């Protein structure tokens, strides 16, 4: 068994054990989750240490086993500079959630099993090199998250979970339709991603290519989500448990954006170029609309949820822009793609931290309404400090990872399509909304729910702190991440130019 | 790595790291000594690097390096920033009584960011330090966070300067597209039209940071922060960095043809108008803030007319003058609990060290010969005259305004009045730690004019660019104007029109034109999102369940009934079948057998492609499952 299979199946097996052995106690289940997640992180670290760029349209740590030979679908996994960073981010976010959940008391064995299952399938999405395999993991993640929200959520959890499930599941059906389209129109028929990339099916049939891309776009846009397919996100986050929100925003949303760079762009470059303007517009609208709607929110979790729409918008914007012009701007387009991938990692870390911190708020006083707090920095200075760092990271302050992402996205996109500079207003509005939130919740005289608010405890500190530390590391020494991503971005630029 | 490079790195990393640790801990008792040692080391290292002129770089983002380079301009400015940081922290050790760890930590991080700004040689590194300064300034203006209005002022400062900072993002895009790379020195080689875009972006960002018109209002609110913060951020470092950046990219501005004049006029108009605003203020720190903007106007003017050495001299000398005045204002504010100029009358007599040094600084600010700003400002004006007599004339008006507002505070603090007596609100004393830095800064305020006078001025002009020669006539005109206006101010009360007191109504305009419409739009879009976008989806889902119920009825009443009816017909059919069997089947079997053989051959054809139908069936199946689920949910 290869390294990647070990990474994917270890949490799945551990989850099965959790389910199968009812005698596992609460504490054992909690610590088992931490232990497995820690081992996962170490394994990904080993992978990272041994990683060398495999070259264009090649995968490192590849493994291929026949699975459904009748349709040329195989268990094919591998990593490159696009997926390895997401793999590492996923492992990091899940470990943070495991540590955070050490203090939860609700059905620990089932929760551990469910999250380990989610971790396995999430990692599976990012290593899959076969469309069917990708789809299976993609859909299983939706099922897992449904049970997390429905089973451990609060408020109108059942309704929000169902809305999440139906909406993203229907989106995945559109995605499946697109995948089948790729299979049908490829010659020889295959679901293998590298083979499809090499073959570029539908290269000379713009109409069919456009339709297949449209199906894939809708499927991924729901998951990402972009405007107007985003309305499942705020209720899902508001009613999800803290760890569920962290995984949903940190990891699951990335499956959508990852699908663009892994599948849509390399396999359908011509159609992508044809649709590039539409994609850029969707990106700009998502950036501005997400930021403005977030600015008007009074509920902290809804606000963070809408900033995710804004942040994912930057990625869509950059990926659209790279399809706009295929000329001598290769460097600028490569910079934009690198920025988009960094944004996936950065948003995963920062938003997971923000949602875990929001969870602390709910655990202490049961409400996310910012108006019911005030002067919280007095009783909870550590909480205030960490929240401020997370907020500044999210608004793209230099020195933290968000800046590395957004600077490259904007530099690259503006160089290719100057009109994308409109979206710069997004980083301004985001700054305003986070500073307003900080002011309302943490400053002024201590009042309302802030009175008697207990400061961060050990497990909360040790789950959020490392996420933000990693964001700081990327912000100051971005090359640790960029050396992996940049060659892959250059490959994508080559692929889109075909 | 050379000693110089190591010194440069340590000068930046040490205050940043120590500052971060201090800001996150609550080591209030040891914070001030630790910060002083750190800032002192940084200042010493700044002097070493200014002499050794090292450069370091490491790979950063977008194919560009994080490049730091100590060129002549940085070598002049860097020691000033580091020294003012140290002196302000000495003052703060005697002035800031609570949350000292947080205060000193933030100040150290800020100084590191300012030093990076000074030495940055590429856009990404510059932008990093640039925005970091803005964020720390937010935290420092809102340092007393229990007062909401102070936090609001920090927010206004951060958002306003970030609005202008967007220009740097645009400039980075232009640099990438222009093909010359992101090194600041190479920007003037970028291809057109990107070169112009880069120049415009940097110009906007610099004007915002330097609080030039129309961005000026944020600095008014920023005065709600502690006085040492104003002394460092709003005189020597952050605001000054706006002017500094324009000096640094002067070749780019000049290369475009239009950016130079635009910059010059923006600077000189700001200098005149904010001079009027300063004269109209009734609170000391407000007056000093407006005066800072006006003085930075001269630096911006210098960048516009290519007088880099004159502008840099003015920047450095002004830092000393204005840091001193802000610290004096802070000392009086702590001692008396007021910063109203009317209440400060005679305050200089009560604490003579503060009074004398502040008087020296105020005279320098007025342009009184032979103090520092007299010579440095004139170096800028001389260059302006070569460019356009109108610029020079406007510059002289601005110089007269400087003398006027300086006279206002100078005479107020020495005339006998309320400030001589103690007040209930203040601590009633000025500590030694608060007085020592004033003496050092006072020395600078007096003598730094030598930078703009021979024999130093030609050397600086050689190294930085600009004009080294000095015109005795112009110097005399400047000195004469300053002296005359100072005397007039002794005689007449200064006008305090409402529009000047309110800073030209700039903040009200920004609120009315930008802030309130944005918030209204945000609320409208949020309602739209809930009531239109989301409801469309929910309605659609509800329609699906209605459709499902209709289909269920169809199933009962049509399909099922059809089957039942059919079943009744079966016996009839059976009889007919029996007849057919007897007559035709035997013959038919033979015929079918031959057809089957043909079909068998045809059936081989679709073997390769038929599988996709299976997946279409899967889709249909899954979609039906989703529908059933939603029906179940609606009913359950």
Q: Is A73 helix (H, G, I), strand (E, B) or coil?
A: strand
Cβ-Cβ contacts under 8 Å, B634 against chain A: none
H, E, C per residue of B482-509: HHHHHHHHHHCCCCCCHHHHCHHHHHHH
Q: For testing the chain B interface, which of A407, A434, A485 should be mutated: the one with the most B CBs within 10 Å?
A: A407
Q: How many angstroms separate the CA of residue B163 from the nearest CA in chain A? A: 6
Considering only residues A129 and B454, tell me which one the structure prediction assigns the higher pLDDT. A129
Domain boundaries along the sequence of chain B: 1-214, 258-501, 512-576+612-636
Quote the CA–CA distance of B517 and A143 in Å, as a whole number.
42
Helix axes A157-185, A131-152, angle to 10 degrees: 180
- Residue B40 has φ and ψ, to the nearest 5°, of -65, -45
Quote the CA–CA distance of A465 and A460 in Å, as a whole number.
8
Query: A432–B155: do the CB atoms touch at under 8 Å?
Result: yes
Query: A479–B618: do the CB atoms touch at under 8 Å?
Result: no
Cβ-Cβ contacts under 8 Å, B626 against chain A: 166, 169-170, 173
Distance of CA B456 to the CA centre of its chain: 34
How many angstroms separate the first and last alpha carbons of chain A? 36
Confidence at residue B625, expressed as pLDDT on a 0 to 100 scale: 73
B374, B449 Cβ separation under 8 angstroms: yes
Q: Is A68 helix (H, G, I), strand (E, B) or coil?
A: strand
Distance of CA B134 to the CA centre of its chain: 5
What DSSP state is assigned to residue B280? T
**What residues of chain B score a pLDDT lower than 50?**
606, 636
Give per-residue pLDDT as tens, A357-413: 999 999 999 899 999 999 999 999 999 999 999 999 999 999 999 999 999 999 999
What DSSP state is assigned to residue B556? I
Quote the CA–CA distance of B124 and A48 in Å, as a whole number.
27
What DSSP state is assigned to residue B188? G
| Exposure letters A71-100 (e unless 16+ CB within 10 A, then b) | bbbbbbbbbbbbbbbbbbbbbbbbbbbbbb
Cβ-Cβ contacts under 8 Å, B129 against chain A: 398
Token pair 């994080």 in the structure block, residue: B66
Quote the CA–CA distance of A61 and A48 in Å, as a whole number.
11
Query: Residue B66 belongs to what H/E stretch?
Result: strand B65-69
Q: What is the CA radius of gyration of chain B?
A: 37
Q: Is the pLDDT of residue A353 over 90?
A: yes
Token pair 């289909």 in the structure block, residue: B551
Which sign, positive or negative, has the C-alpha torsion A160, A166, A172, A178? negative
Give per-residue pLDDT as tens, A20-60: 998 988 899 999 999 999 999 999 999 999 999 998 889 99
Query: B162–A378: do the CB atoms touch at under 8 Å?
Result: no
Which sign, positive or negative, has the C-alpha torsion A477, A482, A484, A485? positive
Residue B145 has a CB neighbour count (10 Å cut-off) of 21
Query: Residue B56 belongs to what H/E stretch?
Result: strand B55-59
Extract the tokens encoding A413.
Answer: 């996109």
Cβ-Cβ contacts under 8 Å, B174 against chain A: 414-415
Query: A408–B633: do the CB atoms touch at under 8 Å?
Result: no
Quote the CA–CA distance of B515 and A31 in Å, as a whole number.
49
**Concatenated DSSP letters of A359-422:** HHHHHHHS--BGGG---TTTT-HHHHHHHHHHHHHHTT-TTSHHHHHHHHHHHHHHHH-GGGGG
Q: Which has the closest alpha carbon to A409: B57, B176, B206?
A: B176
- Residue B470 has φ and ψ, to the nearest 5°, of -120, 140
Burial class (CB in 10 A: 0-12, 13-18, 19+), A199: middle
Helix axes B238-248, B284-305, angle to 10 degrees: 10
CA distances from B335 to B421, B428, B476 (A): 11, 4, 39
Q: Report CA dihedral (A336, A342, A348, A349) to the nearest 10 degrees.
A: -140
Query: Residue A484 belongs to what H/E stretch?
Result: helix A479-496
Quote the CA–CA distance of B208 and B165 in Å, as a whole number.
7
Bridge partners (DSSP) listed for residue B66: B58
A409, A485 Cβ separation under 8 angstroms: no
Confidence at residue B612, expressed as pLDDT on a 0 to 100 scale: 58
Confidence at residue B618, expressed as pLDDT on a 0 to 100 scale: 66
The CA-CA-CA angle for residues B615, B619, B620, to 5°, reads 115
Give per-residue pLDDT as tens, A257-271: 999 999 999 999 999
- Residue B369 has φ and ψ, to the nearest 5°, of -75, 145
Confidence at residue B468, expressed as pLDDT on a 0 to 100 scale: 74
- How many residue pairs from chains A and B have C-beta atoms closer than 8 A? 178
Q: For testing the chain A interface, which of B192, B204, B529 should be mutated: the one with the most A CBs within 10 Å?
A: B529
Quote the CA–CA distance of B623 and B634 in Å, as a whole number.
16
Quote the CA–CA distance of B441 and A68 in Å, as a whole number.
80
Q: Are strands A73-79 and B55-59 parallel, antiparallel or unpaired?
A: unpaired
Q: Which has the closest alpha carbon to B326: B356, B288, B298?
A: B288
Query: A439–B152: do the CB atoms touch at under 8 Å?
Result: yes
Please report, rounded to a whole number, the percentage of residues in chain A having pLDDT higher than 70: 100
How many angstroms separate the first and last alpha carbons of chain B? 72
Quote the CA–CA distance of B53 and B67 in Å, as a whole number.
13
Distance of CA A395 to the CA centre of its chain: 17
B277, B504 Cβ separation under 8 angstroms: yes
What DSSP state is assigned to residue B43? H
Query: B173–A415: do the CB atoms touch at under 8 Å?
Result: yes
Nearest-CB residue to B128 (from A398, A414, A424): A398
Closest chain A residue to B521 measured between Cα atoms?
Answer: A292
CA distances from B463 to A441, A479, B55, B315, B375 (A): 51, 35, 17, 16, 19
Q: How many angstroms separate the CA of residue B525 from the nearest CA in chain A? A: 6
Q: Is A75 helix (H, G, I), strand (E, B) or coil?
A: strand
Q: How many angstroms separate the CA of residue A185 from the nearest CA in chain B? A: 10
Closest chain A residue to B540 measured between Cα atoms?
Answer: A167
Confidence at residue B620, expressed as pLDDT on a 0 to 100 scale: 72
Quote the CA–CA distance of A116 and A283 in Å, as a whole number.
33
Quote the CA–CA distance of B365 and B290 in Å, as a whole number.
13
Nearest-CB residue to A407 (from B127, B147, B174): B127
**Concatenated DSSP letters of A149-179:** HHHH--SSHHHHHHHHHHHHHHHHHHHHHHH
Give per-residue pLDDT as tens, A242-251: 999 999 999 9
Extract the tokens encoding A131.
Answer: 């469309």
Considering only residues A146 and B634, tell me which one the structure prediction assigns the higher pLDDT. A146
Bridge partners (DSSP) listed for residue A79: A60
Sequence-separated (6 or more) residues with CB below 8 Å from residue B550: none
Q: Is the pLDDT of residue A448 over 70?
A: yes
Give per-residue pLDDT as tens, B269-288: 999 999 999 999 999 999 99
- Residue B176 has φ and ψ, to the nearest 5°, of -65, -40
């Amino acid at each position: 068994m290869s390294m990647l299979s070990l990474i994917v199946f270890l949490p799945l097996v551990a989850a099965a054990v959790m389910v199968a052995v009812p005698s596992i106690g609460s504490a054992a289940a909690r610590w088992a989750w931490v232990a497995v997640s820690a081992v996962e992180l170490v394994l990904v670290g080993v992978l990272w240490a041994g990683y060398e760029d495999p070259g264009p349209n090649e995968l490192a740590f590849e493994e291929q086993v026949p699975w459904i030979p009748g349709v040329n679908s195989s268990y094919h996994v591998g990593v490159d500079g696009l997926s390895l960073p997401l793999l590492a981010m996923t492992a990091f976010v899940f470990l943070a959630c495991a540590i955070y959940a050490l203090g939860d008391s609700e059905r620990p064995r089932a929760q551990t099993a469910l999250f380990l299952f989610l971790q396995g399938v999430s990692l599976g999405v990012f290593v899959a090199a076969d469309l069917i395999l990708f789809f299976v993991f993609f859909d299983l993640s939706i099922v897992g998250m449904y049970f997390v929200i429905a089973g451990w959520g609060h408020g109108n959890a059942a309704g929000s979970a169902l809305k999440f499930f139906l909406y993203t599941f229907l989106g995945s059906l559109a995605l499946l339709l697109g995948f089948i389209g790729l299979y049908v129109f490829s010659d020889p028929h295959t679901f293998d991603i590298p083979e499809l990339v090499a073959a570029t099916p539908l290269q000379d049939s713009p109409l069919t290519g456009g339709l297949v891309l449209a199906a894939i776009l809708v499927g991924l846009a729901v998951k990402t989500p972009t405007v107007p397919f985003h309305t499942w996100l705020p209720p899902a986050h508001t009613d999800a448990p803290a760890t569920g929100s962290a995984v949903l925003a940190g990891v699951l949303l990335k499956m959508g954006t990852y699908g663009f760079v892994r599948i849509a762009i390399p396999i359908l470059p011509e159609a992508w170029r044809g649709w590039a303007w539409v994609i850029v517009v969707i990106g700009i609208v998502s950036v501005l609309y997400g930021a403005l709607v977030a600015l008007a929110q009074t509920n902290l979790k809804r606000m963070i949820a809408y900033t995710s729409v804004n942040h994912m918008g930057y990625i869509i914007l950059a990926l659209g822009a790279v399809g706009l012009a295929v000329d001598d701007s290769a460097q600028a387009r490569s910079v934009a793609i690198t920025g988009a991938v960094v944004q996936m990692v950065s948003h995963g870390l920062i938003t997971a931290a923000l949602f875990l911190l929001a969870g602390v708020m709910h655990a202490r006083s049961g409400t996310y309404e910012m108006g019911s707090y005030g002067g919280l920095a007095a009783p909870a200075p550590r909480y205030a400090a960490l929240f401020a760092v997370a907020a500044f990271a999210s608004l793209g302050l230099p020195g933290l990872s968000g800046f590395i992402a957004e600077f490259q996205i904007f530099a690259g996109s503006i160089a290719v399509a100057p009109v994308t500079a409109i979206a710069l207003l997004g980083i301004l509005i985001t700054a305003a909304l986070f500073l307003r939130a900080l002011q309302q919740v943490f400053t002024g005289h201590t009042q309302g729910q802030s009175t008697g608010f207990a400061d961060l405890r050990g497990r909360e500190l040790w789950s959020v702190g490392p996420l933000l530390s990693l964001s700081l590391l990327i912000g100051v020494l971005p090359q640790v991440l960029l050396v992996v991503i940049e060659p892959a971005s250059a490959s994508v630029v080559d692929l889109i130019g075909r | 790595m050379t000693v110089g490079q190591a010194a440069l790195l340590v000068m930046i990393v040490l205050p940043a790291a120590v500052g971060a640790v201090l800001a996150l801990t609550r080591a209030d008792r040891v914070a001030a000594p630790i910060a002083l040692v750190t800032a002192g080391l940084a200042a010493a290292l700044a002097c070493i690097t200014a002499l050794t002129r090292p450069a370091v770089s490491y790979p950063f983002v977008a194919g560009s390096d994080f490049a730091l380079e100590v060129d002549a301009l940085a070598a002049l400015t860097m020691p000033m920033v580091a020294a003012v940081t140290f002196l302000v922290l000495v003052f703060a050790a005697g002035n800031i009584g609570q949350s000292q760890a947080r205060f000193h930590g933030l100040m150290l991080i800020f100084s590191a960011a300012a030093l990076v700004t000074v030495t940055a040689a590429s856009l990404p590194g510059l932008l990093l330090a640039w925005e970091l300064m803005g964020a720390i300034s937010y935290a420092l203006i809102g340092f007393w966070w229990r007062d909401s209005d102070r936090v609001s002022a920090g927010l206004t400062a951060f958002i306003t300067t970030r609005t202008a900072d967007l220009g740097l993002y645009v400039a980075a895009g232009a640099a990438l597209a222009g093909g010359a790379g992101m090194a600041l020195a190479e920007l003037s080689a970028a291809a057109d039209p990107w070169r112009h875009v880069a120049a415009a972006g940097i110009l906007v960002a610099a004007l915002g940071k330097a609080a030039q018109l129309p961005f000026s209002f944020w600095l008014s609110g920023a005065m709600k922060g502690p006085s040492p913060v104003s002394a460092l951020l709003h005189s020597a470092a952050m605001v000054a960095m706006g002017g500094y950046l324009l000096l640094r990219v002067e070749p780019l501005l000049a290369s475009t043809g239009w950016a130079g004049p635009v910059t010059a006029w923006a600077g000189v108009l700001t200098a005149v108008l904010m001079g009027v605003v300063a004269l109209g203020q009734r609170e000391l720190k407000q007056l000093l803030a407006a005066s800072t903007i006006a003085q930075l106007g001269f630096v911006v003017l210098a960048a516009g007319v290519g007088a880099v050495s004159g502008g840099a001299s003015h920047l450095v000398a002004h830092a000393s003058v204005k840091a001193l005045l802000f610290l004096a204002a802070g000392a009086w504010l702590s001692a008396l609990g007021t910063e109203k100029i009317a209440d400060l009358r005679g305050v200089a007599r009560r604490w003579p060290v503060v009074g004398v040094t502040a008087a020296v600084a105020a005279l320098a600010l007025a342009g009184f010969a032979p103090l520092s700003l007299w010579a440095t400002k004139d170096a800028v004006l001389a260059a302006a005259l070569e460019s356009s007599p109108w610029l020079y004339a406007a510059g002289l008006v601005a110089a007269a305004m400087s003398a006027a507002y300086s006279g206002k505070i100078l005479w107020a603090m020495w005339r006998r009045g309320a400030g001589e007596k103690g007040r209930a609100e203040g601590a009633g004393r000025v500590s030694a730690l608060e007085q020592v830095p004033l003496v050092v800064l006072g020395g600078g305020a007096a003598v730094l004019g030598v930078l703009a006078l021979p024999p130093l001025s030609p050397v600086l002009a050689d190294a930085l660019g600009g004009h080294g020669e000095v015109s005795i006539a112009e110097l005399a005109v400047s000195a004469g104007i300053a002296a005359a206006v100072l005397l007039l101010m002794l005689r007449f009360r200064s006008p305090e029109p409402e529009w000047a007191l309110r800073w030209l109504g700039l903040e009200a305009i920004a609120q009315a034109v930008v802030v309130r419409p944005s918030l209204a739009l945000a609320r409208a879009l949020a309602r739209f999102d809930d009531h239109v976008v989301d409801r469309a989806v929910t309605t659609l889902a509800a329609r699906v369940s209605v459709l499902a119920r209709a289909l269920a009825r169809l199933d009962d009443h049509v399909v099922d009934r059809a089957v039942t009816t059919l079943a009744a017909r079966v016996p009839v059919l059976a009889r007919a079948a029996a007849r057919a069997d007897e007559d035709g089947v035997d013959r038919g079997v033979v015929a079918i057998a031959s057809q089957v053989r043909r079909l068998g051959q045809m059936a081989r054809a679709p073997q390769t492609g038929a599988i996709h139908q299976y997946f279409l069936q899967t889709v249909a199946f899954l979609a039906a499952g989703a529908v059933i689920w939603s029906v179940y949910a609606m009913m359950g």
